[in-house]
Structure 1
């Protein structure tokens, strides 16, 4: 009886290329844990191999009417938007519907974050937001979120600071803080022994 390998690792790569096949953003993933027969290892470990894959993929998909192809033993879903192409690459046995959901979530979250201006210049100018959106959607090849509103909210929400924090900087306040820290350190040291 064969045993199925169950894993959350789904996405091999997320690529954003321009209309000349130049990289704008590329993330190749490899699972953090080893799998038998190295089946989920990154098949393109070097920049040269990645560029060869990207060039071949671009040549196969540029100005095509489809959204999904099989290329180099990978399922690839993609969208051409203005002067960029977004690719989500998965293994040969991955569910193309799930990969397509990731692609749509990424595209829609970027449209929200970039205010419906998804061209090369805007993506480069807002590279930090684009990179964070990709990281909030896929992490180490694992799909984290497919709701574009949630992704956009996580990326664009400024950190919250409690404006009502009252610090007692008097001598007594500092002594209280010192005593509290001293007690916590002693407590941790006792736990470690």
Structure 2
């Protein structure tokens, strides 16, 4: 009889990625957890983020990545250019090194795409790039890529494809752009 392997046991999972400014306000957030206490509503997400911000901003040295246990999760975080903070949220039994690897991949690819400007205004103006980086790194909570150069390259290609006139796009490029625009309409 064939043995089935539970993929949730083998594949490292990310429950969320978010960036908050120095006041704990959301710049970017994406969650993949089914936990209703976090993802039930945007209000619950923002309350969770506010609590995370209060807990982590008081920590002395955030020049390096740090990890804490927070409300039943492992929360890895690091201060960006100004006082913005990048967070990676994982299950309580998740390997902290994997979460730190995701954090570094996200930070380095964002820095590359934003040309090193990691202040809150630059992050907001480069929000499309941040979203593309998150999508390249994590899909449905599974880590897909951690090489920051590949991530930045793919994200910048995706941005440049959107700027190609429709008549010059390949059928696949056109389908991807159309799919994305339809998804944005229904959000």
**Normalised by the size of structure 1, how large is the TM-score?**
0.72
Higher helix share: 2
How far is the alpha carbon of 1:43 from its aligned partner?
A: 4.0
Unaligned runs of 5+ in 1: 31-39, 166-193
Q: CA RMSD in A?
A: 2.2
One of 13, 17, 21 as aligned partner of 2:16: 13
Answer yes or no: is 1:153 the counterpart of 2:156: no
How far is the alpha carbon of 1:134 from its aligned partner?
A: 1.0
Cα distance in 2 for partners of 1:129, 1:54 equals 21
Larger Rg, first or second structure (1 or 2): 1
Unaligned runs of 5+ in 2: 169-187
State the partner residue of 1:75. Answer: 74
Q: How does 1:6-155 map to 2 (within 5 A)?
A: 6-8=9-11, 10-30=13-33, 41=35, 43-44=37-38, 45-64=40-59, 65=61, 67-81=66-80, 82-155=82-155
Per-residue displacement from partner, 1:134-185 (whole Å, max 9, x unpaired)? 1111111111111100000000123398xxx9xxxxxxxxxxxxxxxxxxxx
Secondary structure class of the residue paired with 2:49: helix
Cα distance in 1 for partners of 2:47, 2:155 equals 32
- The farther-off stretch of 86-95 and 134-143 is 134-143
Runs of at least 4 residues off by over 6 Å: none
